[in-house]
Amino acid sequence: MGFSFFASRAAARFLEDIRRPSSFLKNLDSSRYEVKVISPRNYFAFTPLLPSVTCGTVEARSVVEPIRRMFEKKGKDVAYYEAECFKIDPTKKAVHCRSAVGTNLDGNGDFMVDYDYLVVALGATVNTFNTPGVMEHCHFLKEVEDAQKIRKSVIDCFERASIPNISEEEKRKILHFVIIGGGPTGVEFAAELHDFLVEDLVKLYPAIEQFVKITIIQSGEHILNTFDQRIAVFAESKFQRDGIELSTGFRVIKVSDDSITVKCKSSGVETLVPYGMAVWSAGIGTRPVITDFMSQVGQGKRRALATNEWLRVPECDSVYAIGDCSSISQRKIMEDISTIFKVADKDNSGTLTLKEINDVLEDICIRYPQVELYMKSMHMVDIADLIKGGVGDSNKESMVVNIEEFKKALSHVDSQVKTVPATAQVAAQQGYYLADCFNKKDHCVEHPEGPLRLTGSGEGHHNFRPFRYKHLGQFAPLGGEQAAAELPGDWVSMGHSTQWLWYSVYASR
């Protein structure tokens, strides 16, 4: 079974560590640094569990971790400021902050914090794609408060539908719950909501059970379209059995206080959907402070703050970024092909033997993960298979390539550059990785553990290995103790026990 993976407690503990939103601070050895934390919320929230908070399956307090409490437990001497960073000034190496605690401050609410190293982990914001009415009328699932508001709002709908003098049509409208966006968050929320209605609310409001409906509006042809197709199909048929309506292929173009205007993507026909409560889970956007910082460092045209593979913002010294606010720009191998050739060509012969290539192969693969991905995708057994492509069908052992042949052999490799997804799993692994680098910085400057430098003049080793995302799978609870999970190594699991196993990893302390 694919799940033996989860069976060991140590594995579970490790998974937990690299999944936590607070993984950077948790893992950082703060005796080596003077740490200052700036956040407008004095807790870390484990956002993947927010859909469960909406329906009371999980208590709000179990998905949050108070920041100060965490430091206290760890015995760490860390300063925390409940404030929002509204500007990063990389030339002065300082951040401008505004107290989040409101009134009564006599103008003292703004302050500056200097840094030697800055770790930007501001997350993303909701992206409404400027759809009119979404901000005003939809709920979101980004913060703990959002989940609590949704819970209250669902119950309010039932109460509203229960007061006298409400027509059946009105009841149907009030009890129509719409989820816009069929990604993991939207799907999990729909499933939680369905269970909450069927197992709980319907008993308390038996008179109006018949008027309740849940709809998922998804612009793509399938829900869960980042998952394996088998999972999407399984989830869709489960939802159909449950009576959850799937409106796939529809784009939301407007939301008013009591209806949603959708447009069929194939026919272009617009329809009005009356609703009682709507949740928008259709996209993430960039925070203004990040947009401003990006334009300062010359990244004005990008959608997220770019870092190199060591999670550092390449344009400025000592600024790192992790999580949904950033994305890693994987270096293309073709940009560095001349340096790579030069480094590999130890005898300066102007050609590379297979041995010379094999000597630097590990470093190349660490630095450019696309090489292995490409070879795997082409079913190549070893590097000789790849190099052959440049020189034609020559004999492996005696193979010698010049720079042009080397370039030709690697010319398609960069097609396999993968973007790391914006998930909590990635953010947590990045935090864990970066703290680890900071902890061993002194040691690694003396004893570099990274690959050969293959860019620029190409001398010596990188201090650290670059960040590498370990995909631990995806999981979608589908309600009624059914769930679907996608695990590394092409495992797909659907059905009853999946959820329990996943949660035991996710939610255990």
Q: Smallest gap, in angstroms, from Cβ of residue 68 to a copy of itself?
A: 4
Residues paired with residue 499 on neighbouring β-strands, in sequence order: none
Choose among 288, 303, 318: nearest CA to 434. Answer: 318
CA–CA separation, 466 vs 380, rounded Å? 24
CB closer to a copy of itself, 94 vs 306: 94
- Residues near a copy of itself (CB under 8 A): 42, 68-69, 72, 80-83, 97, 99-106, 108-109, 111, 113, 155-157, 159-160, 162-166, 170, 174, 203-205, 257-258, 276
> Measured from the CB of residue 209, what is the shortest distance to a copy of itself in angstroms?
14
Name which of 41 and 263 has its Cβ closer to a copy of itself. 41
Would you call 4 helix, strand, or coil by DSSP?
Answer: helix
Structure tokens given for 237: 């048929």
Amino acid sitting at position 257: D
3-state secondary structure of 34: coil
Q: How far is the CB of 104 from a copy of itself (least distance, A)?
A: 5
Cα distance between residue 497 and residue 484, in whole Å = 10
Among 363, 366, 375, smallest CA distance to 416 is for 375
Q: Quick one: 164 or 268, whose CB is closer to a copy of itself?
A: 164
C-alpha R_g of the chain = 26
C-alpha to C-alpha distance for 14 and 276, rounded to whole angstroms: 42
Question: What span, in angstroms and rounded, lies between the C-alpha atoms of 250 and 38?
Answer: 40
Distance between CA atoms of residues 268 and 250, nearest Å: 9
| Least spacing, CB of residue 331 vs a copy of itself, in Å | 39
DSSP state of 201: I
Closest distance between a copy of itself and the C-beta of residue 23, in Å? 21
Shortest spacing between CB 491 and a copy of itself, in angstroms: 39
Shortest Å distance, C-beta 59 to a copy of itself: 9
In the complex with a copy of itself, the residue whose CB is nearer, 37 or 426, is: 37
3-state secondary structure of 309: coil
Q: Cβ closer to a copy of itself: 164 or 489?
A: 164
Nearer to a copy of itself, 163 or 269 (CB): 163
Which residue number, 34 or 449, has a Cβ lying nearer to a copy of itself?
Answer: 34
